[in-house]
Amino acid sequence: MTTTTKKSAQRQGFKTGEFVVYPAHGVGQIVAIEEQEVAGLSLELFVISFEQEKMTLRVPVSKAASVGMRKLADTKIVEKALETIKGRARVKRTMWSRRAQEYEAKINSGDLIAIAEVVRDLHRAESQPEQSYSERQLYEAALDRMAREISSVNKVSSTEAVQEIEKILVTSPKRAQKARASEDGADDEDSREKAA
């Protein structure tokens, strides 16, 4: 198996040095485009580095589109994702295992809006009940994916992107109304129990 590296190459609209989104792993950087010979066939590969996971992935150039690899979202999509997390959480009344699978699928879809929906739906305000371990894991995975893409698009640190997302989640008027309504509902239940 022979490998030759092409430094400043561009294939399928992607070029070396560019940040891309690989659905199952999030944001990575194309560090090279290699040509490898496998079983007598020449194969071109994107070499993608995921610094946070300390992982390198080789994706055949011809498979990039079919695996869902894409360029970073533009600023309009980032704004739409941030608008999405302002909304009221939409939690289906199905078993947790089924919802967890749906959340996992959204996180691994690579779609920033779908990831924002998971962040919105799994976020817990301090006044709300504690999350289960698996809910917390999925929430943190979605938050991390969303923050890394926003940090790459807006050229800020991941920490700054997380802070921006969490600030929106906490200050969203729709969420504040819902939290107040649930607190009021709890007070009403307490007073009804005391009256009985």
CA distances from 165 to 116, 146, 168, 187 (A): 10, 9, 5, 30
Q: Give the residue from 71, 96, 125 where a domain finishes.
A: 71
User: Looking at the 3D structure of the chain, how many domains does it have?
Assistant: 2
Output the domain CATH number for residue 66.
2.40.10.170
Looking at the structure, do residues 163 and 99 belong to the same domain, yes or no?
yes
Looking at the structure, do residues 121 and 31 belong to the same domain, yes or no?
no
Looking at the structure, do residues 13 and 45 belong to the same domain, yes or no?
yes
pLDDT tens across 7-52, in order? 446 666 798 999 999 998 999 999 999 988 888 888 899 999 998 8
Looking at the structure, do residues 25 and 63 belong to the same domain, yes or no?
yes
CB half-sphere exposure, 145, CA atoms < 13 A? 30
Looking at the structure, do residues 88 and 174 belong to the same domain, yes or no?
yes
Q: Give the residue from 15, 38, 71 where a domain finishes.
A: 71
**SS3 helix, strand, coil % of the chain, rounded to 5?**
50, 20, 30
pTM, whole model, 2 decimals?
A: 0.79
User: Which strand (E) or helix (H) includes residue 8?
Assistant: none
180 three-state secondary structure: helix
Whole-angstrom distance, CA of residue 124 vs CA of residue 178: 12
Look at residue 183 and tell me whether its pLDDT is greater than 50: no
Which residues pair with residue 43 across a beta bridge? 36
Q: Do residues 78 and 154 make contact, with C-beta atoms less than 8 angstroms apart?
A: yes
Per the structure, the complete domain to which residue 56 belongs is given by 3-71
Output the domain CATH number for residue 166.
1.20.58.1290
Look at residue 175 and tell me whether its pLDDT is greater than 80: no
Whole-angstrom distance, CA of residue 33 vs CA of residue 42: 13
- pLDDT score of 3: 52
Look at residue 5 and tell me whether its pLDDT is greater than 60: no
Looking at the structure, do residues 85 and 103 belong to the same domain, yes or no?
yes
